[in-house]
Structure 1
Amino acid sequence: MLLDAKSVILDVAAPVLLMVAMGVFLRRIKLINDDFIFVSSRFVFKVCMPTLLFLGLYSNNLSGLIRLNFALYFVLSIFLTFLLAWFLAIRISLPSAQRGVFVQIAFRGNCGVFSLALAVNMFGEEGVAIGGVMSGLSVLLFNVLAEVILTRYSDGALHIRSMLKNMAKNPLILAIILGVLANVCALQLPSFVVKTGSLIGGVTLPLALVCIGGALATSGLQLPRFFSFAILSKVLISPFLFTFIAFWLGFTQKEILYLFLFLSAPTAASAYVSAVSKGDDGRSTANAIASSTLISSVIIVICVPIIVKLTSA
């Protein structure tokens, strides 16, 4: 299915950005506050999004859903982005105390909310299923690599047991595993359960995007010196580089679009939690999340129609 560039702007990107803008507006007029954003974000992460991913994988035909070479390329792109960010952190002579935060900002994307929202708007139920698989892969890799880099520049000891325990308790990972198992086992859920789950899952994207907007309204944009390189690496250098290589390698239009949407995602909110837990600079991470969200939104709106046009030729 080839997409039209105009429809991408009007039907895909615009609704997502308008929901984010609504969150900014509602926070400005104090109709929502920081407590609402905090509680709602936890509700989305622990209840709504896992339900959405579970049902997306449970109800779709997983046979041939995502090609192995594409999944491997996506994972490799994230890993190489991580290495590039680490190289940059050393190359620009950042203090050791800032290197872990810098690298995390540069590679850890908000795939589970921001990218998934765009994928669902663009591809519907298929976007939930494929986006769910890509979210699962990215969540696993993000957690492992973030633990490695933050530990390297904090206490120096890699706590593998703690890392595995945290991943095992991640609701997104659990939902993806259970959704695949339910699909493979041909589990038949009662229709009222599926309907209830669909209502809960339907809350995910609008509520998550409003929370992103609300958080943007109160976040500062001041960053330590050189941290702008981390943001550019996350939302510009990495997605452009690996999308171009994917085009050159002959991936399909859909695969190229999925790749760009997930690689150009802004820095994930979970990066803030990881940074604070390691005693690192949480404020700089929070400001980077806000800045990267604004820049990523502009880049996606401008570049996705261009990619659609180029890959439709």
Structure 2
Amino acid sequence: MLQAVSFAFMIVFPNLALMGLGFYMQKSGKINTTFIDTASNIVFNFGLPCLLFFSVIKSEVNFAEQSTLILAGFITTFVLFFGAETYAKFFVPAVRDKGVFVQGVFRSNMAIISLSVATNAYGAVGTSVGAIYMGIITILYNILSVITLSRTSQNTNFKSQSIDIIKKIFTNPLIIALVSAFVYKGLELPLPPKPITKTGELMANIALPLALICAGATLDLKSMFGLSGVSMQASIGRVIVAPLVAVLAGVLLQLPPVQFGVLFVMVASPAAAASYVMAKAMGGNDVLAANILAFTTVVSMIGLAVGMAWLRVAGLV
């Protein structure tokens, strides 16, 4: 048991420490919103794409062997999506809250939190497996987000906004990097020349630490503790229900330990930062989205540690 707790602590503590550093730096005035915005843009447009691209093309992971993991991801996502839609229909009265609630339940922060935890837990293999999973499920996340926010938004021009969001999906740097990596890997091309590979690796190395610092710097404790009823319900769905659905899917499909662990950390992470951006863009309740994001960012890290420790004791990861 002690070994399991130590394992969970080691994979979660670096993330919490970097987020805590970001929170401290922002509160003490060492960094400001201009730095956070600029750094976030660097991570999103350059750092993470390089990390994902080189993780995939250098991986020894067999894509066919991950088909069961991807299936588990689809099952988990659809169960959470349709379950949240059904719940919202009966128990979330405000129209502007419905899509935000649904998105808060099913959409996790895979690109930053999950990928970092998977790397801490399993090293390069965890990064590679996580990157492939994330590349496919991210596309599904964006499609489902457009659907739920379009149907529940009060904005009468949601059709044009949906088209704009769909365009953004296919111009998303992370998706472009992953699709390019899948094609590159599928063609069995050799690794790029050493200078290019080294440059890409250096850029990739800054992605997760800088992203976690920025995530910590954007935490809003007032929003986090000013939870409304709907916000708390969505947070419970993200922090408790989503991980349990992932565990059930992993057990039913008998995933091997590394894939089981990757599935869990990909699903059990906080609400995605993109959920706030999309809610705001499509006329949803952006304050509700911010509350869900802030609360789950902190609480989910505890859930990740407890969940991984329990799964370790059970011999599943």
Which TM bucket (shorter chain)? over 0.9
Match of 1:198 among 183, 196, 201: 201
User: Does the CA contact (< 8 Å) of 2:256 and 2:316 recur in 1?
Assistant: no
1:96-152 deviation digits (Å, cap 9, x = unpaired): 221111111111111111100001111111122111111112210111011001110
Distance 2:101 2:186 in 1: 40
Match of 2:169? 167
Structure-1 separation of matches of 2:125 and 2:183: 18
Among 183, 202, 207, the alignment partner of 2:185 is 183
Q: Hey, what's the Cα distance between the residues in 2 that align with 1:66 and 1:31?
A: 46
Q: Which moved more, 1:141-150 or 1:35-44?
A: 35-44
Tell me if structure 2 keeps the 8 A contact 1:118–1:261: yes
Q: Which amino acid aligns with 1:220?
A: S
What is the TM-score normalised by the length of structure 2? 0.91
> Contact 2:126 / 2:258 at 8 angstroms: preserved in 1?
no
TM-score (norm 1): 0.92
Aligned pair partner of 1:289 in 278, 288, 293 = 293
How far does residue 307 in structure 1 lie from its aligned partner after superposition?
A: 0.6
- Give deviations 1:247-266, integer Å, cap 9, x for gaps: 24422222221111011111
Q: Which residue of 2 aligns with 1:228?
A: 232
Q: Could you tell me how far 1:173 is from its partner in structure 2?
A: 0.6
CA contact (8 A) 1:58 1:180 kept: yes
Does the 8 A contact of 1:52 with 1:197 survive in 2?
yes
Q: CA deviation at 1:156?
A: 7.9
Could you give the per-residue CA deviations for residues 195-226 of structure 1, whole angstroms, max 9, x where no partner exists? Answer: 11111000011101111111115662223322
The verdict on how the C-alpha distance between 1:312 and 1:127 changes in structure 2, with shifts beyond 3 A counting, is: closer
3-state DSSP of counterpart to 2:118:
helix
Which secondary structure does the structure 2 equivalent of 1:203 belong to? helix
CA distance in 1, matches of 2:89, 2:39: 38
DSSP-derived class of the 2:29 partner:
coil
Q: Is the 8 A contact 1:119 1:128 kept in 2?
A: yes
| Whole-Å separation in 1 of the counterparts to 2:64 and 2:205 | 22
Distance across 1 between alignment mates of 2:185 and 2:216: 35
Match of 1:269 among 273, 283, 291: 273
Identity %: 26
Separation in structure 1 between the aligned mates of residue 229 and residue 221 of structure 2, nearest angstrom: 21
Give the letter aligned to residue 246 of structure 2: F
- Matched letter for residue 184 of structure 1: G
Q: How many angstroms does 1:61 deviate by?
A: 2.3
Structure 1: unaligned runs, 5 residues or longer: none
CA RMSD in angstroms, aligned pairs only: 2.0
Report the equivalent of 2:314. 310
Displaced runs of 4 or more, over 6 A: none
Query: How do 1:69-148 residues align onto structure 2 when only pairs under 5 Å count?
Result: 69-148=68-147
Question: Contact 1:147/1:158 (CA < 8 Å) preserved in 2?
Answer: no
Tell me if structure 2 keeps the 8 A contact 1:65–1:130: no
How many angstroms apart in 2 are the aligned matches of 1:33 and 1:157?
A: 33
Q: Partners of 1:239 and 1:148 in 2: how far apart?
A: 23
Distance 2:301 2:79 in 1: 23
Please tell me whether the aligned partners of residues 219 and 286 of structure 1 are also in contact (alpha carbons under 8 angstroms): no
When residues 220 and 182 of structure 1 are mapped into structure 2, their CA distance, relative to the original with a 3 A threshold, is same
User: Structure 2: any 5+ residue segments left out of the alignment?
Assistant: none
The DSSP-based 3-state class of the residue aligned with 2:60 is coil
